[in-house]
Amino acid sequence: MGDQKYPWGHSKRYNDFPTFFRSKFNGRVQKVSVDAGFTCPNRDGIKGVGGCTYCNNKTFKPSYCNLEKSITSQVNQGVEFFARKYKSMRFLAYFQAYSNTYAPLENLRELYEEALAHPRVIGLVLATRPDCLEADVLEYLEELSEKVYVMVEFGIESHLNKTLEKINRGHTFQEAVYVLTETRKRKINNCAHLILGLPGETREDFLEQAKSISRLPIDNLKLHQLQIHKGTVLEKQFRNNPEQFNLFSAEEYIELVVDYLELLNPEIVVERFISQAPPEMLIAPHWGLKNFEFVAKVEKRLKERNTWQGRRFINDEL
């Protein structure tokens, strides 16, 4: 297809998030992370304790997220940090740590609306689990999304229930299918978060996953490579049985991402390919690549292989 436009309307070889986002909002929009002190049912004893085997939330919280600070204070600090560079930038409050819909509706409403009270905040991004979205919260988010941008980001992690059980996830893939369907039905934006490289899964499983999620009503997709973080159950498992882990080299993962993209529904906006933990938290793998460097390598490989997102996608919805 050379330099001509792809189904998403531009010449990039995948339906990339920055281009989509700038076009949607007609300008620069930045997420600012806030920590509202949530937990999750896999930590508080409802589903389990200790959390998922790979989870250490310190790996993705910016320094300005601090439970001693109010939501307003965190939003102000985040906005101030980015607004120095781009005066006209607008913002989305990103409730990121743990399960940010896991509380009674009256508490959630108060927290979300405190964040939305900032004059430059035009919406919310809510990271949560598929089993943490009650009917009353869904209804509220449906109403809210008629007024502001709302994105609910679901940690799905795998399409295989045996893997979800192994990583102590505490929910099934079927629960993920349900909430993705419900949010789409209510015109609430959604995002699926998946990890490639979980113990016991094979390359065939990852490519089958691409086909499986392509059949679902997903707006955005976040992929990331399995990383072993300090202070997790996965770290202990890795130290005791390293042979059970197949951690990708950067080159192997780039090739897998390109294969995955080929099978992926072209309507799905791809938000990211990798996760970056702070170096002091990371045990393995060490790639020494920043996010933008990895993206450039994927784009180069797509061009070298003369391929693009959805080239092998088969629309076989039931």
- pLDDT band (50, 70, 90) for residue 238: confident
Domain extent listing, the chain: 17-304
- Average of per-residue pLDDT values in the chain: 88
| Of 46-50, 58-62, 206-210, highest mean pLDDT | 206-210
Phi, psi dihedral angles at 100 (to 5 degrees): -90, 15
Question: Could you give the percent of the chain with pLDDT greater than 90?
Answer: 66
Sort strands 282-284 and 29-34 into parallel, antiparallel or unpaired: unpaired
pLDDT (0 to 100) of residue 255: 98
pLDDT (0 to 100) of residue 62: 46
Query: What single-letter DSSP state applies at residue 16?
Result: B
Phi, psi dihedral angles at 78 (to 5 degrees): -65, -45
Better pLDDT: 57 or 260: 260
pLDDT (0 to 100) of residue 250: 96
Residue 256: exposure state from Cβ atoms within 10 A (0-12, 13-18, ≥19): buried
Q: How would you classify residue 237: left for phi > 0, otherwise alpha for psi between -120 and 50, otherwise beta?
A: alpha
Given a cut of 50, is residue 44 above it in pLDDT?
A: no
Tokens in use for 36?
């509202």
Q: Are 220 and 271 in contact (CB under 8 A)?
A: yes
Q: Report how far apart the first and last C-alpha atoms of the chain are (Å, whole number).
A: 29
Better pLDDT: 298 or 69: 298
Q: Which of 196, 189, 217 is nearest to 259 (CA)?
A: 196
Given a cut of 60, is residue 317 above it in pLDDT?
A: no
Q: Which of 135, 124, 134, 32 is nearest to 81 (CA)?
A: 32
Tokens in use for 193?
């978060």
Given a cut of 70, is residue 64 above it in pLDDT?
A: no
pLDDT (0 to 100) of residue 102: 81
- Digit-coded pLDDT (tens) for 83-118: 888 888 999 999 987 788 888 899 999 999 999 999
Tell me how far apart the alpha carbons of residues 25 and 45 are, in angstroms, rounded to a whole number: 41
Phi, psi dihedral angles at 282 (to 5 degrees): -95, 130
What secondary structure, in 3-state letters, does 211-228 show?
A: HHHHCCCCCEEEEEECCE
- pLDDT band (50, 70, 90) for residue 232: confident
Question: Could you give the percent of the chain with pLDDT greater than 70?
Answer: 88
Average pLDDT over residues 118-141: 94
pTM for the model stands at: 0.89
- pLDDT band (50, 70, 90) for residue 68: low
Given a cut of 90, is residue 39 above it in pLDDT?
A: no
- pLDDT band (50, 70, 90) for residue 316: low
Better pLDDT: 86 or 17: 17
pLDDT (0 to 100) of residue 35: 86
Better pLDDT: 181 or 132: 181
Tell me how far apart the alpha carbons of residues 251 and 303 are, in angstroms, rounded to a whole number: 15
Q: Are 159 and 207 in contact (CB under 8 A)?
A: no
Q: What is the CATH number of domain 17-304?
A: 3.80.30.30
Average pLDDT over residues 208-235: 93
pLDDT (0 to 100) of residue 233: 80
- Digit-coded pLDDT (tens) for 18-34: 999 999 999 889 999 99
